[in-house]
Structure 1
């Protein structure tokens, strides 16, 4: 049978044929299928024309299948079984899921979920593997070309075919240790911040999507030059700078991580966290409540495994004290 002949097949005809075979009666088969007897008789006539065979002969006890009907029955049953499986709801076996997910995440966002995520995967999805890179200016292209599965950042806009979901909001802080001249203060003004050396983490002046970029521009328009003494993507470098008395502007999740790590190290002085200066927050588009977006390509939107993984990350991020749910 050629493809154009296959197009003549109607699944309903195959279902009618198998039901008649099982019931041995058009009337009983019609009742089972909730059809009228004339309608099912019409389907049987179409089947006879399609396969060029009588298929059934009438006997005293009911219908008797022909040899051709018995052959067809053996062929059609597995087809209908496969179609039943095809139409069954898709399920996800997380325990046996064998897949690698590639993430592009900023360090500040990563701190919000990585530890509980690793615990969850170890217990619930031991065959799932993850690859993590730092979110950068090329990460959107990675989502488009399939080299990245999920991105998490403070994105303002995304291109077509990239879906986004607001995870929540996070705030910044200033980390000081006892070597900083303003360590004993309970708050900092913008002038306080500008009058001393400070270090920043992942501030990219060429990336207009980065949440602090617009604030820097506004401050410069007002005559403030909020240029850090040191910019770094390395938390180790930032830690050494704080140790030597620099203020560190960073997300509160990283700030609290710093506080914990530095207090545990005997060679470091104690550190404290202070709010971002009010003058900076007031100029900030988000008033120091920065939206964290998750993004992924449209092609993965209905992938059950992908959906499970991204929803698990969102759940874990929203359970942390550093993310305010929308």
Structure 2
């Protein structure tokens, strides 16, 4: 790059973050024309259109997205060195985008909101779509600040922290024919199964385990969310393999019969992930600590009780 100063890079970062020239100008306390002039200069310096109009916002080019990823870590380091960021939850208006399943948000959000209303009323917590396959991209592209779920290592630029470990259960309505006695493997394999599949694939964790044993089950129906599972189980003869907390934290949970899965399934490990650019951000650290403490109250307390 040539003729690029930190001010120009800061404007580029704001435009990418906000996805709008107008919002970037408001964030930077600049006029829209000043931001537009800066973009025109960026196009000359970087020899790329960088942005095109898309509805009420703008769409970044492939080069703009690549440049944005490259400047994130240096920008954080420079800003921290020149002007250490202070974070006061009581006065902050920070928004945190969390990629999360409805299973986790259904249990977490009420407690998180209660804490925010009391101690950080201006803070916003925004749920964004989650699939484990997209997590790395979301964090690297700054589409999410934090991701939560059954995650695996994604490279040295993505941090992972274990939140809790949970066992799998087999769930069905309390008056299901299979709820009256111990669930055998044969009954399990012959039953009609409900699978929660966020990706849409009819193959889940239990199917992979069964395949290693040379066995199969019949997935008769899938859902792309966890919140609808109890109602569907209560209205049918379906059974479902779920993390135990799906039933335990659901309003209809007491009407659901839970038992051990008659095949060996390793416990479910929920992890929190974030990009290394946010390691030292005080606001981000506060949010991570709040999520950790809240998960301890919901899940880890069950283990020690």
Give the TM-score band, short-chain normalised.
0.5 to 0.7
Runs of 4+ in 1 over 6 A off after TM superposition: 86-89
1:274 is matched with 259
CA positional deviation for 1:176: 1.5
May I ask how many residue pairs the two structures share in their alignment? 221
1:267 is matched with none
Is contact 1:105-1:133 (8 Å) kept? Answer: yes
1:305 aligns with 2:283: yes
CA distance in 2, matches of 1:197, 1:95: 51
CA distance in 2, matches of 1:142, 1:321: 26
Query: For 1:126, which of 89, 111, 121 is the aligned residue?
Result: 121
**CA 1:116/1:240 → structure 2, altered by over 3 Å: closer, same or farther?**
closer
Superimposed CA distance per residue, residues 206-250 of structure 1 (whole angstroms, 9 cap, x where no aligned partner): 69xx9x53x533412322113421111134653443121211221
CA distance in 1, matches of 2:253, 2:208: 32
**CA 1:206/1:199 → structure 2, altered by over 3 Å: closer, same or farther?**
closer
1:256 aligns with 2:248: yes
**CA 1:294/1:114 → structure 2, altered by over 3 Å: closer, same or farther?**
same
TM-align CA RMSD: 2.8
1:106 aligns with 2:97: no
Superimposed CA distance per residue, residues 8-46 of structure 1 (whole angstroms, 9 cap, x where no aligned partner): xxxxxxxxxxxxxxxxxxxxxxxxxxxxxxxxxxxxxxx
1:220 aligns with 2:211: yes
2:238 is matched with 246
CA distance in 2, matches of 1:183, 1:203: 27
**CA 1:88/1:100 → structure 2, altered by over 3 Å: closer, same or farther?**
closer
Query: For 1:315, which of 258, 281, 293 is the aligned residue?
Result: 293
Structure 2: gaps (5+ residues): 1-80
SS in 2 for 1:182: helix
Is contact 1:300-1:306 (8 Å) kept? Answer: yes
**CA 1:167/1:296 → structure 2, altered by over 3 Å: closer, same or farther?**
same
- With the length of structure 2 as denominator, give the TM-score of the two structures: 0.64
CA distance in 1, matches of 2:258, 2:200: 25
CA positional deviation for 1:118: 0.9
2:71 is matched with none
2:139 is matched with 143
Is contact 1:103-1:148 (8 Å) kept? Answer: yes
CA positional deviation for 1:107: 2.6
2:221 is matched with 230
Is contact 1:104-1:150 (8 Å) kept? Answer: yes
- With the length of structure 1 as denominator, give the TM-score of the two structures: 0.60
CA distance in 2, matches of 1:239, 1:321: 19
Is contact 1:203-1:231 (8 Å) kept? Answer: no
Structure 1: gaps (5+ residues): 1-85, 264-269
SS in 2 for 1:157: coil
1:97 is matched with 92
Matches within 5 A, 1:17-28: none
1:155 is matched with 151
Is contact 1:102-1:132 (8 Å) kept? Answer: yes
1:168 aligns with 2:153: no
